[in-house]
Amino acid sequence: MDLPFLLTSAPLIAVYALVVCYLVYAWSRKVAPEFTPSVNKTMPYVGGEAMEGSACLPGYQFFYVALFFVVVHVAALIIAVAPADAPLAGTLGYLGIIAVAITILRWEQ
């Protein structure tokens, strides 16, 4: 292999990027002002006023919704990349297994 190819290979480009990032990080630490602890630096700030904390919880159990979408999207991906000459029984069997998994997922709730 020739030298220009080796110097522009992906692993070396990643090393170059890490070195440049570290140099910028080291330089910015030298030019930045010293840190002084302050209460105002740790408080949330919104539009010039102190923000009061509040929680907004969804009305449904988000885990089940997220898992449902993952299962359905993975099933769609598997069916989409299945070869054209795949047996229909295999595809329908897979869809059946997914249907049972979704039913069990909804049943637990």
- Asked if the model's pLDDT at residue 10 lies above 70, the reply is yes
| Cα–Cα distance measured from residue 27 to residue 62, given in angstroms and rounded to the nearest whole number | 44
Question: Average pLDDT over the chain, rounded to whole?
Answer: 83
- CA angle, 104 as apex, 77 and 81 as ends, to 5°? 10
Q: Whole-prediction pTM value? A: 0.41
Each residue's pLDDT tens digit, 69-92: 888 888 888 888 888 888 888 888
What pLDDT shows up at residue 43?
Answer: 74
Which pLDDT band holds residue 108 (cuts at 50, 70, 90)? low
Domain boundaries, the chain: 3-50, 62-108
